[in-house]
Structure 1
Amino acid sequence: MTRTERWQRLLDLLVERDGLEVEPAAEALGVSAATIRRDLDQLAEQQLLVRTRGGAVPHGVSYELPLRYRTSRRAAEKRRISEAVAALITPGEVVGLTGGTTTTEVARALAARPDLAGGSPALTVVTNALNIAGELVIRPQFKIVLTGGVARPQSYELTGPLAQQTLGRLTVDTAVVGVDAFDPADGAATRHEDEAAVNALLCERARRVVVAADSTKLGVRAFARICPTTTVHTLVTDTALPAPLAAAFEGAGVGVLRV
């Protein structure tokens, strides 16, 4: 296990248990207590947790892992979801991509499509995610439109009035939205209100809204709503989505694609 993988697992355990003690963490990861103490000290220096006597607790009231530590969660499911979402896109479209691990995989899946590998821009991609723009800007088949705004280090997303002003002047064919939660009754949501405001405007400017989310994010709620369920045209998720929950989304008018 590499240090990055070990840190990822430690942060996952921290969220799951709402706190960590050194000895149980060392046993769970199969390493020495000294290694865990050193890891916790280094993570505390990055303000990813707060050290306590004998362990650590989450940093702050609302805990959110930075994107770089969330990329390996449910990777196989996200890869299938991203490929299915990319297959929904027609050459020539204007595609909006919010930030997040799943939408980043969608961007990579679009880049891998051979029918989009031609010369002049095959797609126009509008995004507020710095990492997505950075990956796609070197590919001549994409025209990249990056919103302005204030960067959030947890998600690499640009938020605030500048991002909203840009999106308010654009029209998008398909908005692909990453979420922290999507519930048939409460709609799509995220943990951060500034991200929700930008994502909501992207949905308003789109002719079609696609939510790309693995099944662990479905049937649950989050702090800041992006849009009501009726705004979403298609939900692309994995096969672990329970049939009753899929039926509830379909009853609300959402097309459900399980891959």
Structure 2
Amino acid sequence: MILNIVDRHKLILDKLEEQGFVNVNDLSQEFNVSLVTIRKDLKLLEDRKLLFRSHGRAIPVNPYITEHYVHVKEKLHAKEKTRIAIEAGSNLEPNDSIIIASGTSVIEFAKHIKQMEGLTVLTASLNTALILSENPNIDVIQLGGTVRRSSSSVVGPIAEKMLADLTFTKLFLGVDGIDIEYGLTTTNIMEASLNKQMIKAAQKIIVLADSSKFGRKGFGKICGIEDVDQIITDSGIDKKTKARLFELGINVTIA
């Protein structure tokens, strides 16, 4: 029995929800229709924003991220970011010397840092530096460099050079995308380069990322997933993704 187009589309979307992807060849064989027919089906579903086609297969959403200004991003998943920020604060210890990178998740983290004896913070984020400078018990070091207006943070060789001779206990890193196979990414290649230097300078890498960041990719790769010690996220993370991260030895904390 050959399925009509409505039935095919329903089954394709059901499989996509169940598996996380569908393959053109597999669908052609299962539905007993040509590859051309399946490609047309996927094109129609993509036009309706129901999936994203990529290299002979389809996935639920477009994994590639476009850049947005920080004042726009801070409104997205705001409740989740607040819970993540509060949880991140429990990782701080007296006399820590930490790096806070850039992004809305780490800015929210800065807002929730409580009194901490001997805390030193180096940051690329102008907003983070301003927030923490109001706390008399925190020593704040602002990285120099070229200001990215979209993120209100600095990038470039001056910032990277400042990190060369410094060592920190922890890095709190915000990212635009987390792909288990590909790694951590951001939308800006210069920011990715600075983040790499931050990773080299820190003993423990803690990623603050709401669950919408999983399965996404930005333009600039920061590092592989194996370089991460801990990810603090929300309950929206997929169970399979969470299990895979545990298998890789990464501490996943749900805020």
Q: Distance in 1 between matches of 2:89 and 2:83?
A: 10
Where does residue 214 of structure 2 map in the other structure?
A: 218
Q: Give yes or no for contact 1:83–1:106 (8 Å, CA) kept in 2.
A: yes
Q: Do structure 1's residue 138 and structure 2's residue 134 form an aligned pair?
A: yes
Alpha-carbon deviations, 1:99-141, whole Å to 9, x = none?
A: 111000111111xx2x52xxxx631001011111011112111
Q: Give yes or no for contact 1:184–1:252 (8 Å, CA) kept in 2.
A: no
Number of residue pairs the alignment of both structures matches: 194
Q: Do structure 1's residue 167 and structure 2's residue 160 form an aligned pair?
A: no
Larger Rg: 2
Superposition map of 1:57-96 within 5 A: 63-96=66-99
Q: Distance in 1 between matches of 2:179 and 2:93?
A: 28
Question: What's the TM-score, normalizing by structure 2?
Answer: 0.73
Q: Give yes or no for contact 1:219–1:245 (8 Å, CA) kept in 2.
A: no
Shift of the alpha carbon at 1:235? 0.4
Where does residue 172 of structure 2 map in the other structure?
A: 176
Percent identity at matched positions?
A: 29
Superposition map of 1:1-259 within 5 A: 63-110=66-113, 113=114, 115-116=115-116, 122-259=118-255
Q: Distance in 1 between matches of 2:67 and 2:180?
A: 24
Q: Distance in 1 between matches of 2:245 and 2:180?
A: 5
Q: Give yes or no for contact 1:175–1:202 (8 Å, CA) kept in 2.
A: yes
Extract unaligned runs of 5+ from structure 2: 1-64
DSSP 3-state at the match of 2:112: helix
Q: Give yes or no for contact 1:183–1:220 (8 Å, CA) kept in 2.
A: yes
How large is the RMSD of aligned CA atoms in angstroms? 1.9
Where does residue 15 of structure 1 map in the other structure?
A: none
Q: Distance in 1 between matches of 2:241 and 2:210?
A: 13
Deviating 4+ runs (over 2 angstroms): none
Question: What's the TM-score, normalizing by structure 1?
Answer: 0.72
